[in-house]
Amino acid sequence: MTATATVGATALSPQQREAFERDGYLMIRGALDSDEVARYSAALDRVYAEEQDAGRLGPRDPMHKLSAVTSVPETADLLNHPNTFHYVWSMIGWNFHVYHSHVDVHPTVREKRPFRFEWHQDGGRQNREIETDPRPRLSVKLAYFFSDLSEPGRGNTKIVPGSHKWNRIDGPPRRDIEWPDPPGAIEVTGEAGDVLFFDRRIWHARSDNHSEITRRVAFFGFTPRWIRARDEVEDLPNRPWWNDLDPVQQQLLGGFAPTGDHGWGHYPDQTPVYRWLADRDLLDPDYPPLKP
Ligand SMILES: O=C(O)CCC(=O)C(=O)O
């Protein structure tokens, strides 16, 4: 760390890293202030209303909209927020982008829904096509809470702490067959403005919102640039807001990574997150993803 280091420009402490390696998640309390929470909530509500006006959502439907920044451009500031960004680069270095993101609005569920076993690790086929045990981390995710999720029953994310090293859990033969939560499962609770940071391998599931509070959350999954994005990124440089982004945000949305070697990280000096870390003396010869 240099004398000029700013908020967020400090690596996670050894204790925080150890806790993340052990539990597979960390809570970042109070990452957003109340003005930020209000701004992002309003932005998600606007898009929710637009989806309803377009007939894509019914009156009390949940919204799960992919490509967070494409869907809600205001959320670009959450890509490298000073209170969360260091969690991401401390664990996965500089050569990464957002591969999968979504904004979710979950109103109260009034009627019992058919059972569906939702427990999963992120990464889809990564979990079938990689042969190691445990599988590699490959990606981490931030979940920004814009609603008060401090009590269970509000559609909270369920996780099994420490399960990121398990390649499988017991589950039903079909997803619609009722099955208990895995042993050790908890509902993650947090205030509006808190952020859940998790290893993609942690077993997790969404839950139904039985409270009167509408649940609003934005999720950003970060992975090395040599894994391709699931989000829509092709046309982003032509969007009216693209030039308002800083170079780090542009990298995270697929800029600076045309096809070919650059996108694979062959030119660190031309890669904004690398430059950002190098300028602050935050590269770390002892940690492979951050080796200068
Ligand atoms: O909405 C949730 O709580 C869970 C989200 C989820 O399953 C995921 O981000 O992969």
Q: What is the pLDDT of residue 5?
A: 37
Span 176-205, mean pLDDT?
98
Query: Residue with the nearest Cα to atom 4 of ligand 1?
Result: 206
- For residue 63, pLDDT beyond 90: yes
Can you give the pLDDT at residue 1? 29
H helix or E strand, kind and range, residue 218: strand 215-224
- Asked whether the CA dihedral 59, 153, 64, 168 is positive or negative, the reply is negative
Q: Return d(Cα 180, Cα 144) in angstroms, integer.
A: 27
d(CA 108, CA 5): 43
User: What confidence tier does 6 reach under pLDDT thresholds 50, 70, 90?
Assistant: very low
Domains of the chain are 14-290 (2.60.120.620)
Q: Measuring from each residue's beta carbon to the nearest atom of ligand 1, which residues come in under 6 Å?
A: 104, 122, 157, 204, 206, 219
H helices of 104-165, in order, are 126-129
Residue of 97 and 112 predicted with greater confidence: 97
Q: Which atom of ligand 1 is nearest to the CA of 102?
A: 9
Distance 257 CA to ligand 1 centre (A): 27
Q: How far is the CA of 218 from the centre of ligand 1 (A)?
A: 10
What pLDDT does 2 receive?
32
| pLDDT bucket at 4, cuts 50 / 70 / 90 | very low
Q: Residue 102 has which token pair? A: 């979504």
Q: What tens digit of pLDDT does each residue of 211-243 get?
A: 999 999 999 999 999 999 999 888 899 999 999
Which ligand 1 atom is nearest residue 122's CA?
10
Ligand 1 centroid – CA 118 distance (Å): 9
What gap in Å lies between CA 82 and CA 131, rounded to an integer?
36
| Residue to mutate (ligand 1; options 138, 194, 204, 216; most atoms within 8 A of CB) | 204
Expressed in angstroms and rounded, the spacing between residue 205 Cα and the centre of ligand 1 is: 6
Q: How far apart are CA 189 and CA 27, in angstroms?
A: 9
pLDDT at 79: 98
Question: What confidence score (pLDDT) does residue 259 get?
Answer: 67
Q: How confident is residue 29, by pLDDT bands cut at 50, 70 and 90?
A: very high
Nearest atom of ligand 1 to the alpha carbon of 207: 3
Confidence band, pLDDT 50/70/90 cuts, at residue 8 = low
List the one residue out of 216, 203, 14 whose CA is nearest residue 119: 203
Which of 88-97, 151-160, 252-261 has the lowest average pLDDT?
Answer: 252-261
What is the predicted pLDDT for the residue at 263? 86
Mean pLDDT over 9-35 rounds to 96
Among protein residues, the one with the nearest Cα to ligand 1's atom 5 is: 206
Closest-lying ligand 1 atom to the alpha carbon of residue 217: 1
Structure tokens at 233: 């990124």
Q: How far is the CA of 260 from the centre of ligand 1 (A)?
A: 32
Residues of the chain above pLDDT 90, percent: 90
Residue whose Cα lies nearest atom 1 of ligand 1: it is 206
pLDDT for the residue numbered 262: 85
- List, for residues 65-96, the tens digit of each pLDDT value: 999 999 999 999 999 999 999 999 999 999 99
- Residue 9 has what pLDDT? 75
Confidence at residue 258, expressed as pLDDT on a 0 to 100 scale: 60
Quote the ligand 1 centre to 62 CA distance (angstroms): 13
Instruction: Answer yes or no: is pLDDT of 46 > 70.
Output: yes
pLDDT tens by residue, 164-187:
999 999 999 999 999 999 999 999
How many whole angstroms from 23 Cα to the centroid of ligand 1? 17
Portion of the chain with pLDDT greater than 70, in percent: 96
Residue among 118, 219, 223 whose CB has most ligand 1 atoms within 8 A, to mutate: 219
